[in-house]
Structure 1
Amino acid sequence: MTKPPLTLYMAAPRGFCAGVDRAIKIVEMALAKWGAPVYVRHEIVHNKYVVDDLKAKGAVFVEELDQCPDDRPVIFSAHGVPKSVPAAAKAREMVYVDATCPLVSKVHIEAARHADAGLQMVMIGHAGHPETVGTMGQLPEGEVLLVETPDDVAGLDVRDPEKLAYITQTTLSVDDTAEVVAALNARFPAIVGPHKEDICYATTNRQEAVKAMAPLADAMLVVGAPNSSNSKRLVEVGARAGCKYAQLVQRATDIDWRALEGISSMGITAGASAPEVLINEVVDAFKDRYDVTVEMVETAVENVEFKVPRVLREPA
């Protein structure tokens, strides 16, 4: 039987970003330096495949620091942690390595700088997301007010409308965030914004590639985890950019083939914590069923690299 033809549009950039790459490397280097087990507070990045791979190598994933023994190294995830967490590790004289993405750390520093200048902080982010929890935890309780939507801005109860600054989670939808920023500026004209966009380069680049790809494809799949903020945003961006069917899949086994019946073009991208091996798995699944022609939709070239902490570059 001849396979039906299918044009497979591959978004570029897609998949791993420099912060995720660095975080995974930190766990692997910690295991090489100190041996197993090495404890990791929260999933190092939001991807089951990556976490399972590191578990197999000797990493133990926990939700809270009190689940870690004093005598084994602990790593803090790429999403960042409240200030109280490294303080508690220090008090217990634990060896710890902070794998917080440098672009998230930049937001933490920004928040502290604004607070030192006497400004109250408004954070645009998703309630309960580890990055939001970590960033809000940089400052005392009540110093950071959380908003998710333009409607939330109307309900803000601030200390002094003349002394405000805003920061954002790094993995938000660029367009949605612009709407919230516009609402903040309209209600609080004196509010101070970041020097440089808080939404990270990788999130922005992946969303731009999806915007370029979505109108070309009958359907679109985003390879990523259901708890990955940047992956879920890619699905929303694709749908908004005109793709009639945009879905999140963790791997090839999640593809709903019945929903894809009759398509002649398909877009594929991946969130910043999805490894290339899972993207290839999805591509291979389409090659099994279709006569595939692959076309790249490239909107940016990334060559960012972040160094791992010095403690891991020194001999044991």
Structure 2
Amino acid sequence: MTSTRPKLTIRLAAPRGFCAGVDRAIQIVERALERFGAPVYVRHEIVHNRHVVERLEQMGAIFVEELDECPDDRPVVFSAHGVPKQVPAEAQRRNMIYVDATCPLVSKVHVEAQRHEDNGDEILLIGHAGHPEVIGTMGQLPEGSMTLIETIEDAQAFQPKDENRLAFVTQTTLSVDDTSAIVDVLQARFPGMKAPHKEDICYATTNRQAAVKALAPHSDIVFVIGAPNSSNSVRLVEVALRAGAPRAQLVSCAADVDWDELGPVETVGITAGASAPEDLVQGLIEAFKERFDVTQEDVRVTDEDIVFKLPRAVA
């Protein structure tokens, strides 16, 4: 029997979804609950995804904004985005059990920033104001040690104390293209500026953006599964539009799709930000299969096999 449903090709980005840092952070909370029992407190969302947070809450995790909301006698986990230095220092002062789930690639940026500070360099941080990762990175050093650069205009306007003692680091979840444009401006103005030994934008951000660039020009619309406060997910929408997708939309899950607004489509691109679980991707694909006669294609730009070790406290 011939299907009466319209035909649709789903182009599925690969890699997509969870990265090694997110995987590790979630495992840290799960292992802490196994080892110490509930409740385990978590300072800030462990990763930027409500579905992940709600599942961990059901297991006994309690999410708080600040350390002073945590009792002294229960373990606390610090989120994957990193925390200012005073947070673990305060936990130590209170003799708390704490586990740091900061992504190792974010920790690498912290180490770079400290090294530049030790060398007496003025440090620029390319990133987005208010993002937890930026707050954590700026909080590694004394106030005023780091200047935040958000835009090309910021890069053009910045006046260094000494242009021969200048270095930069970046947030790990930025748009590769936007960041390159800002760095180009800074390096043209300050040729001696020190750059990271290896690019700070993490492998997962780079790979997910490359996969979206590959599928966007051939898609009528691209759906990015992720949270509005997830920097890497929001960047994927921007990358899709710039790469030629006529439309791109951020959704947290299939329930967010307005099917009436979808209109006639023949090809849909699907990806997920680094903090979005794969079951949400599969849920969106199933929702399309209920309405369309679906053919699925993988658009794979690389394979990922990176795994980060767990901290000794929960290993």
Q: Residues 99-145 of structure 1, C-alpha deviation per residue, up to 9 Å, x if partnerless? A: 00000000000100111111011000000000000001111101000
How far has the Cα of 1:162 moved from its partner? Answer: 1.1
Extract structure 1 runs of 4+ deviating beyond 2 A: none
Cross-structure match for 2:103 = 101
Secondary structure (helix, strand or coil) at the match of 2:274 reads coil
Unaligned runs of 5+ in 2: none
CA-atom RMSD in angstroms: 0.8
Q: Establish whether residue 139 from structure 1 lines up as the match of residue 141 from structure 2.
A: yes
Which of 187, 194, 209 is the aligned partner of 2:189? 187
How far has the Cα of 1:187 moved from its partner? Answer: 1.7
Which of 120, 123, 136 is the aligned partner of 1:121? 123
Cross-structure match for 1:282 = 284
Secondary structure (helix, strand or coil) at the match of 1:176 reads helix
Distance 1:118 1:248 in 2: 42
State the AA in 1 paired with 2:85.
Answer: K
Cross-structure match for 1:205 = 207
Cross-structure match for 2:266 = 264
Unaligned runs of 5+ in 1: none
Q: How many residue pairs get matched?
A: 313
Distance 2:32 2:202 in 1: 26
Cross-structure match for 1:298 = 300
Secondary structure (helix, strand or coil) at the match of 1:179 reads helix
How far has the Cα of 1:220 moved from its partner? Answer: 0.5
Q: Where does 1:1-316 land on structure 2 (aligned, <5 Å)?
A: 2-313=4-315
How far has the Cα of 1:154 moved from its partner? Answer: 2.3
Secondary structure (helix, strand or coil) at the match of 1:303 reads coil
Q: Which moved further from structure 2: 300-309 or 148-157? A: 148-157
Secondary structure (helix, strand or coil) at the match of 1:27 reads helix
Distance 1:46 1:64 in 2: 16
Q: Which moved further from structure 2: 128-137 or 157-166? A: 157-166
Secondary structure (helix, strand or coil) at the match of 2:250 reads strand
Q: Residues 199-234 of structure 1, C-alpha deviation per residue, up to 9 Å, x if partnerless? A: 000000000000000011111100000100000000
Q: Residues 27-72 of structure 1, C-alpha deviation per residue, up to 9 Å, x if partnerless? A: 0000000000000000000000000000000000000001100000
Distance 2:263 2:313 in 1: 53
How far has the Cα of 1:256 moved from its partner? Answer: 1.9
* Percent sequence identity over aligned pairs: 64
Distance 1:120 1:23 in 2: 31
Q: Give TM-score scaled by structure 2 length.
A: 0.98
Distance 2:57 2:75 in 1: 15
Secondary structure (helix, strand or coil) at the match of 1:50 reads helix
Distance 2:181 2:207 in 1: 19
Distance 1:53 1:120 in 2: 42
